[in-house]
Structure 1
Amino acid sequence: MSKEARYGLLYSEYEYSSYVRIQSEKCCIIVACFPILAMIFCILYSVLFNFEGAVYTHCDVYNWLPSISAAIGSFSPQREVWQSAVTIQAIPRFFYAFQYLQFHYSLLYPHDFWIAQVAFFLSMVENIALILLSFFVSSQYYSVHKKAFITFIISSEVYMILTCILQSRFKKQFRISLKWKKRFLTTNLIFIVVAVYFFMRHNSFCEPYVYSLFALAEYIVVFSNMAFHSTAFFDFQNKDFVIYKHGFTLTER
């Protein structure tokens, strides 16, 4: 073997060993599991070990479920578990936002690409707002937490609507993904209305259990949002998430 061929072989082996390749479907599941499992842990741990403090409200009436803000931000180790999960999933979420932008660019440009750009911007805002409301907890930074939560809700709702509009233009290509996106979006919108109703009723009448019904509706809002983002499983099938020494990308399998 010549010196050039030997060098080329060694170089190829070095290149092959310098990256990690993960199936995109598995990556989506892993990323989705962090906030889902962290949320379940925070709720259960709060009910089992911090029940009185977690369900307490200014009305001082009996409740049996904590709000999400209380479950993820008022106690330890729940706060640290949730913050760790949000931090871990943040970078992949930003990455998938860029991938969706490129994906929609290839399908839409030059027609209606502005919708994809707005959706991309809202996805970034949603992720940043999630990070802020997770670290600026309501018990210590109520004003910041409240603004971040409202920003998260508005940006996530508009993002989900725009994504469904974009993918409706290509129903055959996104048939399964779009079907589940619409289901999760509908669930999300319905339970936002339900959550607002129970929250206002709780503040107006201070009835027992009403705040728990608000908390339950709030859980469904958050889990349906997570489920919506998990439909990336269908959108990026047959692709691999490749981590290089100096970056990462999605490639065809």
Structure 2
Amino acid sequence: MLPQYERLGDSGSGVADQTGRSAIRIRFGKLAVITVMFPVLGFLFCVVWSLLYNFDQANSTHCLVYNFLPSLSAAIGNYQPQRFVWQFSVLVHAPPRYAIAFLYKNFHVGLLRKRRKELAYLACILNITELSSLVGLTMWTSIDNYEVHKFCFTTFVIASMSYMIILIIINRATRELDILSASEKKSIKYKKRLFVANLCSILLAVYFFIRHNTYCERGVYSLFALSEYVYVYSNIGFHMTAYWDFISANLYFDWRNGIHFSSI
């Protein structure tokens, strides 16, 4: 659905503007769905294309045993057009993600008690660090520059897990204030489940990776790859819970005031 044009001074717009100038309004829920679809569909395309057209190369390892799923790095970074599709998906979805990081910061600062507001700033820093690391490891693959890719990947894992933990702590603090809506409570529930899935998947990935390199068993590297897939999608799902946190919010594009959010 196309963005809606509306006068900022109109009743029900949620934003007062005495000049009567028009602005573009987009429901945050629509923006969240569109944003998350880029990495979701981009990653799915990379895996399916690798299976159809690069099966032998993408599943090949030093053990020379049969595998049926390509690893994350093989699916998104080693071949074309997969590499281009993934880079495009990440770069297009990054600007809205940066904006949402600051939206969360302002939202949490407004909710938390004064002695806990530093958690909101910490969460924002971790969120931005996670996203910047994702952009870095996407643009510099292990083939192009292994050291930069390794640094970005390590930073991404640490920052993303830390961000999830801090956000769960913040949600617990706001729950104590008993000011959460039904949609925000739903968001907290799914955040916890997706964090557990994310943590278990990364631990399983480490286990299968070590087992593959130690014993060279058939299919074990594919189980490692499957764990990576769960890690990717649980991370995406965690960020997608912003849909419920800001379900009543609008995003306004205004030439004079720039971009801003407002709740109905």
Q: Same fold (TM over 0.5)?
A: yes
Residue 169 of structure 2 is matched in structure 1 by: 165
**Which secondary structure state, in structure 2, belongs to the residue aligned with residue 221 of structure 1?**
helix
Pairing 1:96–2:100 present:
yes
1:49 equivalenced with 2:53 (yes/no): yes
- Separation (CA, whole Å) in 2 of partners of 1:244 and 1:75: 41
Task: Find the aligned partners of 1:138 and 1:245 in 2 and give their Cα distance.
Answer: 42
In structure 1, the residue matched to 2:186 is 176
Give the 3-state SS of the residue equivalent to 2:61 in structure 1.
Answer: coil
Identity %: 43
Q: Distance in 1 between matches of 2:253 and 2:49?
A: 35
1:24 lines up with 2:28 in the alignment: yes
Question: Which segments of structure 1 move beyond 4 Å, counting only runs of 4 or more?
Answer: none
Hey, what does 1:145 align to over in structure 2?
149
What is the rounded CA distance, in whole Å, between the counterparts of 2:261 and 2:195 in structure 1?
Answer: 26
Q: Which amino acid aligns with 2:100?
A: Y
**Residue 125 (structure 2) pairs with residue 121 (structure 1):** yes
AA partner of residue 230 (structure 2): I
Q: Give the one of 184, 196, 212 matched to 1:202.
A: 212
Cα offsets for 1:86-131 (capped at 9, x unmatched): 0111110110000000001001141211111111111000000000
User: In the TM superposition, what is the alpha-carbon distance from 1:144 to its structure 2 partner?
Assistant: 1.3
Structure 1 residue 138: Cα displacement? 1.4
| Residue 260 (structure 2) pairs with residue 249 (structure 1) | yes
| Cα shift readout 1:21-57 (whole Å, capped 9, x = no counterpart) | 1111111111111100100000000110111111111
Give me the whole-angstrom Cα distance separating, in 1, the residues matched to 2:147 and 2:62.
Answer: 17
1:111 is paired with a residue of what secondary structure?
A: helix
| More helix as a share of residues | 1
- How many residue pairs get aligned? The number is 239
Among 123, 136, 142, the residue aligned to 2:140 = 136
Q: Which amino acid aligns with 1:96?
A: I
Aligned partner of 1:222: which letter?
V
Does the 8 Å contact 2:112/2:174 carry over to 1? no
Normalised by the size of structure 1, how large is the TM-score? Answer: 0.91
Report how far residue 183 of structure 1 moved: 0.5
Secondary structure of residue in 2 paired with 1:240: strand
Q: Cα RMSD between the aligned structures?
A: 1.2
1:157-213 Cα deviation digits (max 9, x unpaired)? 000010011011223513111000000001111111111100111111111111100
Q: Distance in 1 between matches of 2:120 and 2:263?
A: 22
Match for 1:222 among 212, 220, 232? 232
One-letter identity of the residue aligned with 2:214: S
SS in 1 for 2:154: helix
Q: For residue 5 of structure 1, what is the aligned residue in structure 2?
A: none
Deviates more, 1:36-45 or 1:103-112: 103-112
AA matched with 2:134: L
Task: Say which is worse superposed, 85-94 or 240-249, in terms of deviation.
Answer: 240-249
Checking the alignment, whether the CA contact within 8 Å between 2:59 and 2:71 is kept in structure 1 is yes
AA aligned opposite 1:244: D
TM-score by length of 2: 0.88
Tell me what 2:243 maps to.
Answer: 233
Structure 2 distance, partners of 1:142, 1:58, is: 18
Aligned to 1:187: 197
The one-letter code of the counterpart of 1:127 is L
Given candidates 86, 111, 127, the residue that maps to 2:90 is 86
C-alpha distance in structure 2 between counterparts of 1:76 and 1:27, whole Å: 29
